Structure 1
Amino acid sequence: MIKPWLFEFFPELGDEARDPAPADMAGYFTRYLDLWTRDEALGFEGIFFSEHHFGGSFSASPNLLISAVAMRTQRLRLGVMGVVLPYYHPARVVEEIGLLDHLTGGRLEVGTAVGVPQELARLGMTMEEARERSDEIVEVIDAALAKRVVSHQGKHFSFANLRLLPRTLQQPSPPRWTAVVSAESARRAARRGIKISTGFNSTATIRTIFDAYRAEADAAGIAAGPDCLALRRRVAVAATAGEAQGYAAAVSERLKSFVAQDSRLKQSVPDAPPPAGGFTISDEEFITGTPAEVADQIIEQCRAVGAGHFLAVLHWGAPIDEVTAAHELFGGKAIPILRTA
């Protein structure tokens, strides 16, 4: 079985030149909350929200979205892929994990990330500093989930004898994830027993990343089956292949402007290496077609890399009516195929 998730970007209504009217904003939020509530009945495993800042999305505080959706649902797993750790004090991160695990009734999935360069740079933070801060906070999370009182002495954070409350409902902790784009990042996650998600790259490259994770976990004596691995892809689905291609072309155009802002990313160019410390967006990042065609492509890619989870970025950045139709079509016709794969 392949477990189908939503990876939710929550696109901005309006743009740099135009702020929508408050009533339009209120209606927009309500429609998305209704859509995410409907996703439970459509058979999605859960929703991973993303965290982005300073334009493009309304996902600056995804933990608030988790709390809102938790009050409307009963089964959906809810998480962030991932919380951008360098923005926060580790005590806040740990205590919000505990609080959200209770508010979701034990449905929380914990995901962390370093962040994207162009957003961090707006606050004067380099990727080097962001990685340092992220590594320190991860140490604190590891310690806090294991014991009641935590002390830490590091380059960016220092504190002693903190009780970080509440303790999580899921014990010893909620499932933990991190987003990776390299074999070395995958190895680090494996050593800590944390699940991984990745996308952008070709299935061949992702297989190499997942193989590195599996080998490192095996060496550490940690079980690392398909349930530890998630493949994330941008999906365009429609009643006909031609209609889906039109939606996919629009997604690709929107993605180009995003890629232009991120020094780690570049569009797929045959035989060209990725930028230093970065990665290439492969053509396989885009899964397009009718529900049956989309399901077949997902199954093929998940089998190729050994992933038990699929994170669907449905009609990335599209208007809400288009996104709603895609959820209905994917949930109604593609998910039953994935569930029995």
Structure 2
Amino acid sequence: MSLNKYYSAAFIAFFIWGFFSFALKPLHNFASLDILFYRVFFSVIIMVLVNLFFRQNIIRSNWTNFKNCDSKKKKSIVVLTLGGGVFLTLNWFVFIYVVNHVSVNAASLAYLICPILTTVFAYLILSEKLSKWQWGAVLMSVFACVLLSLDHFGDFFYSLIVAATYALYLVSQRKNSEMDKFLTLTIQLVFTAIVLIPFYPKYSGAVPTQPLFYGFMLIIVVLFTIIPLFLSLYALKGINSSAVGIMIYINPIINFVLAIFYYNEQISSLQYVSYFLILIAIVVFNYKALHSTKSNVIPPEIEGSN
């Protein structure tokens, strides 16, 4: 099985997400909750239809495999799948709020922090080992974040929530490898929709009537939700969290450049220094991963599921 396709999947996913603000900014007049509601509901409709019409054999195969698992394994699959749905929903809502009501720069910072948090959570939850150099990089990034919080505590606080929720999603889904990735994502979004439905009547605004809303929502659902989420989950089948972490940096780099040159957001000297420290930490943290990709291969899993 070629390693390149897993790296390509991760690269494409985070490259696409780097331009997410292009689809979100035109909807800044709409409430963050409304964008979340329609993003989830429309995603569920499209993904359920794709599964029902084009992937019936895969559904039957996965259901058979699930029934043949012991009770402990079944519980693990259910908890990881539904728990992933919770983390994903929280990440979406906070990210949408940050882009539209805080700053694109804060969203960029979130995905600079995310790779470090992903590995720390993997160490704490999955008992993955970290080298002394990697711990040094973690401490360096923490120091940079403290510098940012001195002048922009609000940005840092929201960035940390965005980063933590997505890091927890990635770590939880690393262990959730028994089922087809597209089907897993569909179940997570269906679960998310079920959780959100009771809140929709009370917390949603008036049903949007502007064609602009539905046009950009379709772009968000297909281009910035279904495609990159599937690609990122697929990448976790063949490369470990450090390798995926390298690709995550594509997202904030694009966001940071857009914040400065396209959205004309003001960046202070302290922010430049902090970002520079984080970039150094990124290089130090991933030095070995960048020079030993062969060690990042995960033992073959159920390839037939995708």
More helix by share: 2
More strand by share: 1
TM-score (norm 1): 0.27
TM-score (norm 2): 0.30
